[in-house]
């Protein structure tokens, strides 16, 4: 089958790789209907995250079950399913508390930029949709596998509630998804930080009421101006850099909440600052599995379209073009068709 291998910085290739096979009785094999490139994949593409040998990249997927192991009971061949980028048993104490990404048996899912994939712990990871969706629904449903689920977690971890003023730091697909999540969760005012007109337009379509183009201390001051010197009730940090985290913490009001989902790179936290402003801080790898039933229902309602973050469609065979476009920031997020 065709799959995507990353060999080194700026070296992503579409290659013929072995077909996946059932290894454990809890596995399922999925024929991929759509996949995509994630912003976190770029950490490897840019050489910031290092690795020793080529590996099959990609962790976002939707598709049809081809085969299941002997112990799988909740999904069956022929069903259209969505799963998280962490496989989980969905039964351990961490899962039952709503943190499936911290499952005692968690297995990172990878190799999803391929025509077919093996999903471990299928019963606890995969969620069937009500029916086989139309092609038009695929972009919306694909975002639920990671980017929308991660944006949702950013807003939830930040404590977004009806009437809040919420700031979103980051205008990538996760940040834009966090804008949409904040809107869905009832935020009254949503301040999106972005310098890019194309991304600003999506943010406003998703519910942003204000755009801040400044960065760093200037961005914090701008948020304070917009909020009468108080700061925001909730902040979604969707980048992962030290500047982004500093901006998020600085933009929070006393007792505000910061939800961080950007994979941290060089982030330094000051316990003294946290002590002084009473900011609540929560984040990590999003427990996407916990949100999937609700988010699938929202997509099927017909009024929830997170798939608008996709602004480039590329055949899987041309996956290297998708990486280049996202790396150059000429695309927000690339949708890959097998």
9-53 pLDDT tens trace: 999 999 999 999 999 999 999 999 999 999 999 999 999 999 999
pLDDT (average), residues 289-314: 98
The class that CATH gives domain 150-283 is alpha beta
pTM: 0.96
CATH architecture designation of domain 2-146+287-337: Alpha-Beta Complex (3.90)
Terminal-residue alpha carbon distance, the chain? 10
Residues 150, 260: Cα–Cα separation, whole Å:
10
Element (H, E) at 168: strand 165-169
For the stretch 225-239, pLDDT in tens is: 999 999 999 999 999
Average pLDDT over residues 205-221: 97
| Average pLDDT estimate for 300-305 | 96
pLDDT band at 274 (very low <50, low <70, confident <90, very high): confident
**pLDDT, averaged across the chain:** 97
Angle between helices 288-301 and 147-158 (to 10 degrees): 110
pLDDT (0 to 100) of residue 222: 98
Cα(165)–Cα(209) distance, integer angstroms? 10
**pLDDT of 271:** 86
pLDDT tens-digit readout, 158-182: 999 999 999 999 999 999 999 999 9
Q: Where in the chain is the domain with CATH 3.90.180.10?
A: 2-146+287-337
Q: Which two tokens stand for residue 133?
A: 């969706």
Q: Is the pLDDT of residue 101 over 90?
A: yes
* For residue 273, pLDDT beyond 90: no
The segment(s) of the chain belonging to CATH 3.40.50.720 are 150-283
Determine the length of the chain.
338
């Amino acid at each position: 089958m065709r799959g995507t291998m990353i060999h080194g910085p700026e070296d992503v290739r579409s290659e013929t790789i072995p077909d996946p096979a059932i290894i454990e009785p809890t596995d399922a094999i999925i024929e991929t209907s759509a996949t995509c490139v994630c912003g976190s994949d770029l950490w490897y593409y840019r050489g910031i995250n290092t690795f020793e040998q080529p590996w099959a990249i990609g962790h976002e997927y939707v598709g049809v079950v081809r085969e299941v192991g002997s112990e799988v009971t909740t999904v069956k061949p022929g069903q259209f399913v969505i799963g998280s980028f962490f496989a989980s048993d969905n039964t351990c104490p961490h899962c039952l508390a709503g943190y499936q990404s911290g499952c005692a048996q968690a297995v990172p899912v990878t190799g999803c930029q391929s025509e077919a994939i093996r999903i471990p712990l299928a019963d606890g990871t995969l969620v069937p949709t009500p029916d086989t969706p139309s092609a038009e629904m695929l972009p919306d449903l694909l975002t639920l596998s990671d980017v929308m689920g991660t944006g949702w977690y950013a807003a939830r971890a930040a404590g977004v509630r009806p009437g809040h003023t919420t700031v979103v730091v980051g205008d990538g697909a996760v940040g834009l998804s966090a804008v949409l999540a904040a809107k869905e969760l009832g935020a009254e005012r949503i301040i999106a930080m972005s310098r890019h007109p194309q991304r600003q337009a999506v943010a406003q379509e998703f519910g942003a009421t204000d755009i801040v183009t400044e960065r760093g201390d200037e961005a914090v001051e701008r948020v304070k101006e917009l909020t009468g010197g108080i700061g925001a009730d909730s902040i979604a940090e969707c980048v992962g850099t030290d500047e982004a985290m500093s901006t998020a913490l600085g933009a929070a009001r006393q007792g505000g909440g910061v939800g961080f989902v950007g994979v941290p790179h060089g982030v330094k936290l000051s316990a003294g600052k946290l002590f002084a402003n009473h900011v609540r801080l929560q984040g990590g790898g999003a427990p996407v599995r916990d949100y999937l039933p609700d988010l699938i229902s929202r997509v099927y309602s017909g009024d929830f379209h997170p798939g608008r973050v996709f602004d480039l469609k590329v055949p899987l065979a041309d996956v290297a073009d998708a990486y280049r476009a996202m790396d150059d920031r000429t695309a927000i997020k690339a949708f890959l068709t097998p």
